[in-house]
Structure 1
Amino acid sequence: MGLNEKPVQRFGGLWNISFGFFGIQIGFALQNANMSRIFQTLGGSLDDLSYLWIAAPLTGLLVQPIIGHYSDRTWTRFGRRRPYFFAGAVLAALALFVMPDARILWFAALTLWVLDASINVSMEPFRAFVGDMLRKDQHTAGYALQTAFIGAGAVVGSLFPFVLTHLGVSGDALGGIPATVRYSFWFGGAALLLAVLWTVGTTREYSPAEMKAFGEPMLGGPATQPVHALAARGLGASLCWIAAGAGVVVTVPTLGLQKEVYLLGALLIAYGLASIAAILLARGGKADNPLSLIIGDFSGMPTVMKRLALVQFFSWSALFIMWIYTTPVVAQYAFGSSDPTSAAYNAGGDWVGVLFAVYNGVATIVALLVLPRLAARIGKVRTHGIGLLCGALGYASFLVLRDPNLLVLSEIGVGIAWASILAMPYAILASSLPQAKLGIYMGLFNVFIVVPQLLVATVMGSVLKAFFPTEPIWTMAFAAAVMALAALAMLRVPETGNA
């Protein structure tokens, strides 16, 4: 190893770098598997679920690019990324401790907002942290182990309510949020904080001088090139975004759509206005302002990243449909109840935790043992396409399977897709992202995860209410279709090498 290279990280080093993600994912899994049940227990209706879930993607849309931008430009005696994921972990743990004591619906929704914002503050720097700490020839191993921790944490978080039920803890929701869910959230808060503290305490980030010696300098001053390109742009595209948002707002009362669709229109208008402000600031010579820098970097993304954006859009649309609607689907069609206060419904909710544990367990194994070998043989792009097709088949099988035990087979397909979604896009991007902007590009890449979630959250409730208000099973058909479109979109992504 030369003096101008990062040291090779052994397994223990790789473990320490990513272990915090284990705790973060426990909290994320508890949120995904139980929030629909909490909302319905507190009086939320089936067609209100997507509206109540808006908090999660909206916070990601706002938080991740901002945190990525500032973490790229941060250096303190505590490091570059670690202050962010430590602060996020503390806030997320507090939200997990408070949420089970919610007694009214709006407070549960507000706590979800805080929880998801805090998880995003921790999660975004962790993605960039792997790139900071590892040589390029270890990126695949680093992201694979991170994916394994994501899967393992999700297994633990998803299974905990089910295990508590079988240990005799009450899952009865007649008196409010079940005790199994309350204890699980408290456990998750402690696990999240301790896991992140492990990574904070066992790693040392490279200083700016060391990164410069490695040939990967941190961002030392204003990155003016994207801002200069932004200053040369016209306002036409920005006005189109505003017009599209206004069109959505006008369409809501005309078509009788639900009120949450107004949020989608408002976001389109807000982005158009923000881009106009960024362009005007850039034209005025104010190159080093966060708004122009973030929007300039968004406009100047690498080509591979732009093409992967469509893939992310479709694949995360399918995932968000699954997270919102699996509980009512399984409870109604496999356990025979749509009453969220019934024992059968809550048994279905517990079984969803098992199913989510299965797909995350499968993802852990696939990420470590299958994806690296398959990518070496056929390429990362084809590997990801195959993984997405497996997910589409898994969702489609919900339409025909009614035995709860057979739904485990469905989750195997979903688990393969989940492993690929968490690992392969980042492996494909690794060689095209400059180190100095790793945080902002990782944050912007997550915009293409968040936007489809917002679309699902604002539109899916209206679709469900209009066409199949008592048949949530058809949401799985939507998930299968859009996951298949994600696989098709991979045909446009160029192969960047198999290493």
Structure 2
Amino acid sequence: MSGKPQMSFWQIWNMCFGFLGIQFGFALQGGSMSRIFQTLGAEKDALPLLWIAAPLTGLLVQPIIGYLSDRTWHPILGRRRPFFVIGAVLASIALVAMPHSPTLWMAVGLLWVLDASINISMEPFRALVADKMPEEQRSYGFVVQTLIIGIGTWVASNLPWFVTLMGVSNQAELGVVPPSVQIAFAIGAFVFLASILVTVFTTSEDPPEDMQQFMDERKRGNLVVDIVRDIINMPKQMLSIGIVQFFSWLAFFSMWSMATPALTDHVFKAPAPDPSAFDMGIAAQAEAFGSANAAFQNAADLVGSYMGYYGLSSMAAALLLALYASRHVLNRRLVHCVSLLLGGVGFLSMAVVPSPAWLIGSFALVGIAWASILSMPYALLSSVVEPKKMGVYMGIFNMFIVIPQIVAATALGAVLRLLFDNQAIYALLIAGGSLVLAAMCLVFVREPRAALVAAPAAAH
């Protein structure tokens, strides 16, 4: 049993609430960036490479922010919370500006800013759960965090569709992002900042036990040397879980970058029209392009809405896991294996759904995997990491998230073009196979002995 005090549900909820805004940022990015890129003239097979900004920024930012947050102490904001605030302000600015991009290169540049800013807030959040909670409650804490992420995913994914339903136009001139998307991103910016502030004002942090020793260690540190040393000396358990993470995040990056072109084309039969195929000087041609573009934008709205069901499903799965983990021992490895297999089935089924409405079931299965990916690996990892290095190791661990995304960003477009006649639906089949591989790799992961301690009931 850990010496840290037990936390009530509402203490955990407030501590994790900032993840609502973080997930608003990620969900709007995941559901709408390919749509924005295509609206600004990007070719379908170029989309994964345009997305490379997201994982590259994560690869650079996450270990650095984790390292710095381990060595930060502010007399008012504490250790992790200064990074919450900085990231939230920058991300909110990027969210407001993104859908107003006049050119493709500006949208790509803002994606760099947005993803870097989200990462500045996100990595310290992971470490905060491990900082504040005793070992026997950490599964519970990460699952509550996932519950909030699921709420954010579902609401934010549906925002463009909901804004359109409220009467805001879903159409715009050639090369202009529709007003419905612009308003959705502005709402996301407000939610991001507001939810982060809830955590900042309701959750305290404990100062280092020996402040003088903490200050001495901070002075002796060397950022690059220390991070490289920590990577070389990472716990074996981290590497084993990292392999599982590699295949898991390869799958989800494939979905985020290619679900819109894959499903608007394969399921809705409304692909993004190629402006070069139309002579805008001829009225009939211009009208045909407008009709095809309207069909694509409407289909893209529905794809975003259906993707929201993976957030809703992950929310339900996380709620069930939270209720169980608050009272009983949770076999994290078994839960993760079953969840990944169900997610793989969800992706594979998207190629054979008889009608668009069936995508609800497909994304619901994907959401079960998502709930587990956002909680079980971190709970498994937190049991084997030295507490004073929790931030940097959470950041290093996320290398196993961003490296597969870089692989997918650089290779997925070429694979689709060369092997699958540029049919984007195969990206989702690759995603399904990748989740099945991730589940198989769990054979190399062990359940830490400390995790077998029964979690006492949390106060409510």
Q: With structure 1 as the length reference, what TM-score do the two structures score?
A: 0.82
Q: CA deviation at 1:8?
A: 2.4
- Correspondence list, 1:99-498, <5 A: 99-175=98-174, 176-209=176-209, 221-222=216-217, 288-339=221-272, 342-370=293-321, 373=324, 379-496=331-448, 497-498=451-452
| Greater RCO, 1 or 2 (C-alpha within 8 Å, sep 6+) | 2
Cα separation, 2, equivalents of 1:382 and 1:173: 48
Tell me if structure 2 keeps the 8 A contact 1:29–1:157: yes
Cα separation, 1, equivalents of 2:177 and 2:354: 27
- Correspondence list, 1:62-81, <5 A: 62-77=60-75, 78-81=77-80
Does the residue aligned with 1:344 lie in a helix, a strand or coil? Answer: helix
Cα separation, 2, equivalents of 1:410 and 1:81: 37
Q: CA deviation at 1:467?
A: 2.3
Does the residue aligned with 1:48 lie in a helix, a strand or coil? Answer: helix
Cα separation, 1, equivalents of 2:213 and 2:426: 48
Cα separation, 1, equivalents of 2:308 and 2:427: 21
Tell me if structure 1 keeps the 8 A contact 2:161–2:304: yes
Q: CA deviation at 1:204?
A: 1.4
1:403-438 residue CA offsets vs partner (Å, 9 max, x unmatched): 110011111110110001001111111211111000
Q: Could you say which residue in structure 1 is the equivalent of 2:277?
A: none
What code does the residue aligned with 1:106 have? Answer: W
Q: Could you say which residue in structure 2 is the equivalent of 1:32?
A: 30
1:146-188 residue CA offsets vs partner (Å, 9 max, x unmatched): 1011110111110111111222211114351011100000000
**Does residue 15 of the first structure (1) align with residue 13 of the second (2)?**
yes
1:370-416 residue CA offsets vs partner (Å, 9 max, x unmatched): 47748957721111111110111011101211411001111111011
What code does the residue aligned with 1:456 have? Answer: A
Q: Is the alpha carbon distance of 1:402 and 1:332 closer, same or farther for their aligned partners in structure 2, counting shifts above 3 Å?
A: farther
Q: Which runs of 5+ in 1 are unaligned?
A: 224-285
Q: Could you say which residue in structure 2 is the equivalent of 1:282?
A: none
Does the residue aligned with 1:383 lie in a helix, a strand or coil? Answer: helix
What code does the residue aligned with 2:192 have? Answer: L
Tell me if structure 2 keeps the 8 A contact 1:63–1:120: yes
Q: Could you say which residue in structure 1 is the equivalent of 2:48?
A: 50
Tell me if structure 2 keeps the 8 A contact 1:26–1:188: yes
Cα separation, 1, equivalents of 2:330 and 2:12: 26
1:447-476 residue CA offsets vs partner (Å, 9 max, x unmatched): 000000000001111112222344111111
Does the residue aligned with 1:80 lie in a helix, a strand or coil? Answer: coil
What code does the residue aligned with 2:186 have? Answer: W
1:179-235 residue CA offsets vs partner (Å, 9 max, x unmatched): 1100000000011001101111112111113xx69xxx9956549xxxxxxxxxxxx
Q: Is the alpha carbon distance of 1:158 and 1:218 closer, same or farther for their aligned partners in structure 2, counting shifts above 3 Å?
A: farther
What code does the residue aligned with 1:207 have? Answer: P
Q: Which runs of 5+ in 2 are unaligned?
A: 274-291, 454-460
Q: CA deviation at 1:6?
A: 3.0
Q: CA deviation at 1:288?
A: 3.3
Tell me if structure 1 keeps the 8 A contact 2:143–2:321: no
Does the residue aligned with 1:451 lie in a helix, a strand or coil? Answer: helix
1:68-127 residue CA offsets vs partner (Å, 9 max, x unmatched): 011101111121000011100000000011112111000000001100000000000000
Cα separation, 2, equivalents of 1:474 and 1:454: 18
Tell me if structure 2 keeps the 8 A contact 1:218–1:436: no
Cα separation, 1, equivalents of 2:213 and 2:57: 27
Tell me if structure 1 keeps the 8 A contact 2:255–2:428: yes
Q: Is the alpha carbon distance of 1:182 and 1:480 closer, same or farther for their aligned partners in structure 2, counting shifts above 3 Å?
A: same
Tell me if structure 2 keeps the 8 A contact 1:387–1:420: yes
Cα separation, 1, equivalents of 2:9 and 2:221: 40
Identity over aligned residues, as a percent? 45
- Deviating runs (4+, > 4 A) in structure 1? 217-223, 374-378
Q: Is the alpha carbon distance of 1:417 and 1:371 closer, same or farther for their aligned partners in structure 2, counting shifts above 3 Å?
A: farther
Cα separation, 1, equivalents of 2:305 and 2:99: 20
What code does the residue aligned with 2:95 have? Answer: L
Tell me if structure 2 keeps the 8 A contact 1:287–1:293: no
Tell me if structure 1 keeps the 8 A contact 2:95–2:189: yes
Tell me if structure 2 keeps the 8 A contact 1:95–1:115: yes
What code does the residue aligned with 2:15 have? Answer: I
Tell me if structure 2 keeps the 8 A contact 1:336–1:344: no
Does the residue aligned with 1:177 lie in a helix, a strand or coil? Answer: coil
Tell me if structure 1 keeps the 8 A contact 2:27–2:156: yes
Cα separation, 2, equivalents of 1:467 and 1:172: 34
Tell me if structure 2 keeps the 8 A contact 1:27–1:189: yes
Cα separation, 2, equivalents of 1:26 and 1:48: 25
Cα-Cα RMSD: 2.2
**Residues 364-373 or 288-297, more deviating:** 364-373
Tell me if structure 2 keeps the 8 A contact 1:72–1:218: no
Tell me if structure 2 keeps the 8 A contact 1:333–1:402: no
Cα separation, 1, equivalents of 2:323 and 2:230: 30
Does the residue aligned with 1:207 lie in a helix, a strand or coil? Answer: coil
Tell me if structure 2 keeps the 8 A contact 1:294–1:440: yes
Q: Is the alpha carbon distance of 1:336 and 1:346 closer, same or farther for their aligned partners in structure 2, counting shifts above 3 Å?
A: same
Q: CA deviation at 1:344?
A: 1.8
Does the residue aligned with 1:406 lie in a helix, a strand or coil? Answer: helix
Tell me if structure 2 keeps the 8 A contact 1:219–1:436: no
Cα separation, 1, equivalents of 2:207 and 2:220: 26
Cα separation, 2, equivalents of 1:13 and 1:106: 43
Q: CA deviation at 1:349?
A: 1.1
Cα separation, 2, equivalents of 1:155 and 1:186: 17
Cα separation, 1, equivalents of 2:36 and 2:359: 23
Q: With structure 2 as the length reference, what TM-score do the two structures score?
A: 0.89
